[in-house]
Every structure is written in C-alpha cells, then in structure tokens.
Amino acid sequence: ADVCVIIPAAGSGTRLGEPVPKAFVDLCGRTIIERCVENIPAALGASVVVVVPADLIERARMLLPGVRVVAGGAHRSESVRAGISAAGDAGILLVHDAARPLTPARVFVDVVDAVRSGHPAVVPAIPVVDTLKQVVSVPGGLERVTRTIDRDELRAVQTPQGFTRDALLRAHADASGLATDDAGLAERIGIDVHLVPGDPLAMKITTPWDLRIVRDVVGR
C-alpha cells in the first residue's frame, strides 16, 4: 500500500481511569481500537499498524485480524517509532490516535490529498472556542493571570497527522524526541506543517466525560 496508518494505542488511559488500557475499553459493544481501525476509509487502500502494550499483543491480534500489531513504549513518541519500524515502505504515513475512534472519513481524505499535493506534514485542526489565559502559579495561593492569548491565532490539532515518509522519518530520527504530537517533532527540525479542517467527531477520548459523550454519539 502507498498509505500506511500507524495507530498508537499503547497508552494506559490513566486519566480515563477504566480497569483496562484506553484502547481496549468498550464503546457500545466494540472496543475503542476496533472502532478506530474499522473507521479508516477503505478508499485509502491503506495498510494499518497498531501499537499496543506488550502484554496485550495477542488480544489485539484476535480483535484485529489482518492488522499488523506491535508493542509500544513508555511514551507516545516511542510507540510511534515502533509503528514506523513496522510500516513497510509506504510513501505516505499517517499517525492516528486510537483515542479518536469516530474521526470522519473526510478528515483522512483531506489529510492524504494535502500530502499528495506536496505538503510534507499535514494536520487537522479546529478553532479554539474558549478564551485562553497564561498564568503563573503562586505558592500557597491562587494562580494569577499574566496575559490573555489571542485565540484567533490558535488552533487545536487532531489526528490523523499525515507525512511524507521522509518527513516522518526525519522528525523521529532523534530517538529521544518527545512531543504530544508528531507535527511538533517535524516543526522542531524546520519542516513546514500545514492545516486542513478538523472535525468535532475527531475529538480525543481523554476523560470519563469524553467517554460519556462518545458513547452517546455512537448510541447504545
């Protein structure tokens, strides 16, 4: 396949607080990771690599027949690097959080199209709706605001994040690189990152509240 989707799913889901790691939590009869993989549009013709905690490799292989499953690392970036190593020689690599199982097909297609049209790094993003304050902590007291940040200049980014093979390999070449997203590593080495419109359905399941919303959307 010319496109490979790497799905980091090796986190523990500490903030979600469920008894099993986040990707293995039930979402109305199917696990989050199953729904995430099923939701990748077939039209992409993509191969898929799923990165899971080492002790859940067999379970993941049972849930996801035909999908390459490998063990992740202690940090998200390490898990992504494990995925890259298993991605074969696809020319376009997408990195997609397992925690965003309802991402619409349109977002995948827009990201891939933008990479194909010559952008080395492409990220879905949505406007920020809250007013944002920068703060300092005050020992023993309330946090104090130092300034208000102009939200018109800010975007909240989602996944899948798409890269030419070369761009993603260079972004992750320094094996000590840690960031909460892959575009962050690309930016650091001077690769231009471009945005396509994200979608509310690409929301990340992080907290119990998020899981409640996503379960409501799927409908039990």
- Interface residue list for ligand CTP (CB under 6 A): 8-15, 22-23, 51, 72-76, 79, 97-99, 204, 206
Q: Which is nearer to Mg ion, 114 or 183 (CB)?
A: 183
Residue from 9, 12, 11 nearest 32 by CA: 9
Binding partner selected for residue 50 from Mg ion, ligand CTP, none, CB under the kind-specific 5 to 8 Å limit = none
DSSP 135-151: EE--TTS--EEEEEE-G
Residue 132 interacts, among Mg ion, ligand CTP, none and using kind-specific CB cut-offs from 5 to 8 Å, with: none
Minimum gap (Å) between residue 60 Cβ and Mg ion = 18
Q: Which is nearer to Mg ion, 11 or 177 (CB)?
A: 11
- With CB under 5 to 8 Å by kind, the binding choice for 97 among ligand CTP, Mg ion, none is ligand CTP
Q: What are phi and psi of 81, to 5 degrees?
A: -65, -35
Taking CB under 5 A as the binding criterion, the range among 7-15, 78-86, 117-125, 163-171 that sits at the site for Mg ion is: 7-15
Query: Residue 183: how many CA atoms within 13 Å on its side-chain side?
Result: 21
Residue 87 CA to residue 139 CA, distance in Å, equals 47
CA-CA distance, 122 to 163, in Å (whole number)?
6
The whole-angstrom separation of Cα 49 and Cα 80 is: 10
In the complex, the smallest distance separating the C-beta of residue 136 from ligand CTP, rounded to whole angstroms, is 25
Query: Which of ligand CTP, Mg ion, none does residue 73 bind (CB under 5 to 8 Å by kind)?
Result: ligand CTP
Least distance in angstroms from the C-beta of 207 to ligand CTP: 8
Q: For residue 77, count other CB atoms closer than 10 A to its CB.
A: 23
Nearest residue to the partner ligand CTP, using Cβ: 11
Residue 68 φ/ψ, nearest 5 degrees: -75, 130
Contacts with Mg ion by CB under 5 A lie at: 11
